[in-house]
Structure 1
Amino acid sequence: MKLAAERVDWTVHGHKLLDDVSLAVEAGETFGLIGPNGSGKTTLLRVLAGLRRPKSGRVLVDGLPMTRMRQRDIARSISFVEQQAETLDRIEVREAVALGRTPFLSPLRSWSDQDDAIVSRALDDVGMRHLAGRLWHTLSGGERQRVHIARALAQQPSILLLDEPTNHLDIRHQLSILQLVRQLPVTVVIALHDLNQAMDCDRIGVMDAGCLVDIGTPRRVLTADRLQRTFGVHADILDDPQDDRRILRFRHAL
């Protein structure tokens, strides 16, 4: 599925958090969002997910304006993994992941063995099957993050939005989650804090003060000049001779 934003604005108390943002993400593409804290990445993801309605402009899913879609249809197409999503309910891990199947249930379509299998597969994909019976409040921050991602996978979306999904994860689980995301046959928009991780996206967009200031392939966008202007750091851009990957090494701008 394609996902697009056309001239999207979002304002809170007179402060513009998104300013005339337009982008188009192709079906099956992995699109990275980068930018300093407070640049608008999370707000844009929430607008793309249908959780916030833009003050002006519009979001389109496969060319259809989101305002013309039922909420259930949006939930069946788009899954959003937020940075932090807490609950006070005494809920087990498997029950939390099973919430991803909610958009597909109705009085005419009750829980089935297929739903059970989908939830089990999602738990396996994030390495949480062995903790399926644990209570949510007993989990570590990293374990909770993996449950959030499993819930999104159980939803079987065509479009997956992730807001810094590797927060709270150790390096091994960061790599496994990012590899899993890259292998999924879905359209992905992912906000990333680690710019070296952004190198693996098909394209990236740079957010700064609510504006999308640059967009393109990582090699074209992540230049020393762009990194200094947007992030205020000097960067050395190195080429790994083993796999032709680029590696960024940062120094504080004086």
Structure 2
Amino acid sequence: MRLAAEHVEWRVHGHRLLDDVSLTVASGETFGLVGPNGSGKTTLLRVLAGLRRPKVGRVLAAGRPMRAMKPHEIARAIAFVEQQADTLDRLEVRQAVALGRTPFLSPLRPWSARDDAIVTQALTDVDMLPLADRLWHTLSGGERQRVHIARALAQQPSALLLDEPTNHLDIRHQLSILRLVRQLPVTVVIALHDLDQAMDCDRIGIMDGGRLVAIGPPREVLTLDRLRRTFGVHADFLDDAVEGRQVLRFRHAL
């Protein structure tokens, strides 16, 4: 599904968090959002997910203005994994993931064996099936994050939006989650802190002060000058013979 933002602005108490942001993410593309803390990445993701409706500009999903879509229509098409989310309910892991099927249920379309199978597959994909009967409050931070991703997968969305999904994950699960995301036949917009991880995206957008200051293939926009000006670091590109790609090495810009 093609996602687009056109001249989007978002303000809170007069403070502009997004400033005339326009971008188009092609169907099936993996698009990375990078930038310093407070640059607007999370706000932009929430706007693209339909959780915030900008007063200036608009968002389109598959060419359709999101303002014209009902909440359940958006939920069927777009899944959003927040950086942190919690609940006080005594939910089991399988119940939490099953919430991803809610947009598809109705009195005329009750829970079915197919929904069970979708939830089981989502738990398997994030390596949480062995913990399916555990209570939410007994999970570690990394385990909870994997449950959030499984819930999003259970929605079977056309577009998957993730806000720093590797936070709290150990390195093994970081790699497995990112590999899974890259393999999904959906449009992906993913906010990342790790610029090496961003190098694997089809394209990236660099946010700075609420503006989208650069957009394009990672190697073209993550220039040494851009890294210094936006992130305040010096960097070198090194060839990784094992991975067969370039990686970044950083040092402080004095």
Q: What TM-score results when the alignment is normalised by the length of structure 1? A: 0.99
- CA drift of 1:242 comes to 4.2
Aligned pair count reads 254
Q: Which residue of 1 aligns with 2:32?
A: 32
CA distance in 1, matches of 2:55, 2:86: 28
Q: Which residue of 1 aligns with 2:245?
A: 245
- CA drift of 1:238 comes to 1.1
CA distance in 1, matches of 2:55, 2:161: 21
Q: Which residue of 2 aligns with 1:127?
A: 127
Q: Which residue of 1 aligns with 2:144?
A: 144
CA distance in 2, matches of 1:182, 1:241: 21
- CA drift of 1:223 comes to 1.2
CA distance in 2, matches of 1:242, 1:110: 49
CA distance in 2, matches of 1:243, 1:196: 12
Q: Which residue of 2 aligns with 1:231?
A: 231
CA distance in 1, matches of 2:166, 2:242: 25
Q: Which residue of 2 aligns with 1:197?
A: 197
Give CA-to-partner distance per residue, 1:207-252, whole Å, 9 cap, x none: 0000000000011011111100000000011122344411000001
Query: Pairwise CA RMSD of aligned residues?
Result: 0.6
AA at the equivalent of 2:223: T
Tell me which moved more, 236-245 or 134-143: 236-245
CA distance in 2, matches of 1:10, 1:77: 23
**Unaligned segments of structure 1, at least 5 residues:** none
AA at the equivalent of 1:138: T
CA distance in 2, matches of 1:45, 1:78: 11
Give CA-to-partner distance per residue, 1:157-215, whole Å, 9 cap, x none: 00000000000000000000000000000000000010000000000000000000000
AA at the equivalent of 2:105: L
**Unaligned segments of structure 2, at least 5 residues:** none
Q: Which residue of 1 aligns with 2:174?
A: 174
Say if 2:132 is the partner of 1:107: no
Q: Which residue of 2 aligns with 1:155?
A: 155
Q: Which residue of 2 aligns with 1:186?
A: 186
Q: Percent same amino acid among aligned pairs?
A: 80
CA distance in 1, matches of 2:95, 2:241: 46
Q: Which residue of 2 aligns with 1:209?
A: 209
Q: Which residue of 1 aligns with 2:89?
A: 89
Q: Which residue of 1 aligns with 2:18?
A: 18
AA at the equivalent of 2:186: V
AA at the equivalent of 1:128: M
- CA drift of 1:55 comes to 2.0
Say if 2:75 is the partner of 1:75: yes
SS at match of 1:10: strand
AA at the equivalent of 2:68: R
SS at match of 2:185: coil
AA at the equivalent of 1:159: A
Q: What TM-score results when the alignment is normalised by the length of structure 2? A: 0.99
Q: Which residue of 1 aligns with 2:9?
A: 9
